[in-house]
Amino acid sequence: MANAITAHGGSKPLNKPTSSVAGFYDISESTNALYAQANFEAGMFRGNLGVRYIKTDLDSTGNRSVNGDVVAETTSSDYSFVLPRINLAADITDDLVLRAAYGKDIRRPNFSDLSSSYTFSTSPNPPVAGGNPYLKPEVVTSFDISADWYFAEAAVVSIGYFHKTRKDVHVGQQDDPYSEPVTGYRDIIGPVCEQGGIWNPIALINVFGPVSSDVGVCVPFSSIINDTKDTTQKGIEMAFQYDLSAFEDELGWASGFGVVANYTIQEFSGGEAVNTSASRPSQVFAASTGGTGSLNVTAVQGLLNLSENAYNFTLYYEKYGLSARMRYTWREGFRSNDFGSTSSYPWGFPVVQEDRGQLNASISYDVNDQLNVGIEAVNLTESDVRQSCVNEGALLCFQGLTDRRITFGASYRF
């Protein structure tokens, strides 16, 4: 039976593995670094300052495959940075500490984003995904200041302000081919797609041209670029922790209870790399305004995966070998390139992950010094995942009907 051994959610048997030449890439990265740091302490002040110099040389080798013919190409690039940092703390009183920090750091690209490998498919629908071997690291210059008040034993309340300037932010871009408004036909004359997309010489034209059985058509192309304009991220963080361990004599077993909570509010602005609606969605946008033809809609992508508001609250108990926790987390809607559907940049934009909260809980018990048993529950409220295509609360692109998960476990130390 051919399907006796089949991957979950797929149709390809596990006993007949396949390979993809685009799955191969070779990234050679050589980095030289120099560090210097000095610690200081004077009166109520203490801290350190330092500097880091790095120089990186990079070679990216990738495959490009057309009709089984594989060509390997190597692209080279290099970069260097001077990255200063200073941390300062001031013990205002025995219970109150002020902290401040300034620094510059980098976030290197993922190796997969540097790969120049890509493979053309015989389908005209999915985008051809290609890396960018010239992608530079994202540079983050940050400043933050905070105050911590240790108002009781094993208790603290803190508030802090942070400000980050991001340069060369990594931005996903999808270049869609032009489709004729009435027929939906694309450019079928290669090898250059003058009006967008990338020429795929082996894709079936299908409904995108007058002769569906022929091959060769412009298809979407997705990649990662550096945004040419800085992006600013700033906000306030608040945290609180308190437990009753100091009242063991008065409360007995109840002194094992405690709480941890934090809340973050932030905003971000800047950037100029835009996403543009694909051809068919542009026709929908035109029709929604009572017009005909196409209405191209653009939006600055900005920072992804960042909620303006987010909080979590944890209630815990730690005593007599028993450890129990219940944690609720919530975050406001945010744009994301983590798609729940198979489509890449549906409608030409990153999806909007709608507001979502989740309740988790766990409990474990030390039977003795060696044996521990426990149970963990994830998503007790069965909160679903909802992603909108264009704007928050607009057209639904994906809905994940997530279930709760309960895990029993035990560990034994020899």
Rounded Cα–Cα distance for residues 99 and 86 (Å) = 11
Task: Spell out the domain ranges in the chain.
Answer: 40-51+81-111+120-303, 315-414
Average pLDDT on 336-358 reads 79
Average pLDDT, the chain: 86
Ordered strands of the 170-175 beta sheet: 128-129, 221-226, 170-175
Q: What percent of the chain has pLDDT over 70?
A: 91
| Cβ(220)–Cβ(128) below 8 Å | yes
* pLDDT score of 281 more than 90: no
Specify the pLDDT at position 13: 54
Q: What is the pLDDT of residue 142?
A: 96
- Contact status, residue 311 vs residue 266, Cβ threshold 8 Å: no
* pLDDT computed for residue 344 by the predictor: 63
Residue 67: its pLDDT value, please? 52
Q: Is the pLDDT of residue 7 over 60?
A: no
- Tokens 């034209």: give the residue: 205
* Window from 130-144, 227-241, 334-348 with minimum mean pLDDT: 334-348
**14: Cα within 13 Å, side-chain hemisphere:** 6
Q: 215-219 and 396-400 as β-strands: parallel, antiparallel, unpaired?
A: unpaired
Q: How far apart are CA 115 and CA 193, in angstroms?
A: 22
Highest mean pLDDT among 6-20, 105-119, 223-237, 284-298: 223-237
Q: Tell me the average pLDDT across 86-101.
A: 96
The residues near 361 (Cβ < 8 Å, ≥ 6 apart) are: 324, 325, 326, 327, 376, 377, 380
Give pLDDT, residue 308.
95
